[in-house]
Amino acid sequence: MNLLPNKGSPHQSPSSLLIDVHYAKLNLVRRWNWDRFHRLAAFLRLTHGELASLVCIQHSHLNGIQRRNVFPGPAALLLTLLEAQVLAKCSNDIIPQPFPQYAPSTDSPEVRPDIQSPA
């Protein structure tokens, strides 16, 4: 499992690297395994398919996810957000706020050249 999935990407910036490192430190993807998914589904009284639908995982991917015991990054993030909403008061192994404390610099009113709108 690649903890820095965007390493070497032409779109990588210092900020995107910091975000990737933040998620790696949280073990965001590694923490989501089948047992944790099952725990969340049971707590919500949902089937695995219902929880998958809730976080936009195709049901056809569930068997592979269970076999590999790993969830894709976007699904892991959505599951983390859902878990924080419903289990925060019931468990001590929850990430309450997974997003990095990241905000654009207010030093300069200029728009970054890499995010300007097309003309």
pLDDT tens readout for residues 89-102: 888 888 888 888 75
* DSSP string for residues in the chain: --SSTTTT-TT--HHHHHHHHHHHHHTTTTT--HHHHHHHHHHHT--HHHHHHHTT--GGGHHHHHHHT---HHHHHHHHHHHHHHHTTT-SS--S--S------SS--SPPGGGPPP-
Residue 80 has pLDDT above 80, yes or no: yes
Confidence band (pLDDT; 50, 70, 90) for 15? confident
Q: What is the pTM of this model?
A: 0.75
Per-residue model confidence as pLDDT tens digits over 51-75: 999 999 999 999 999 999 999 989 9
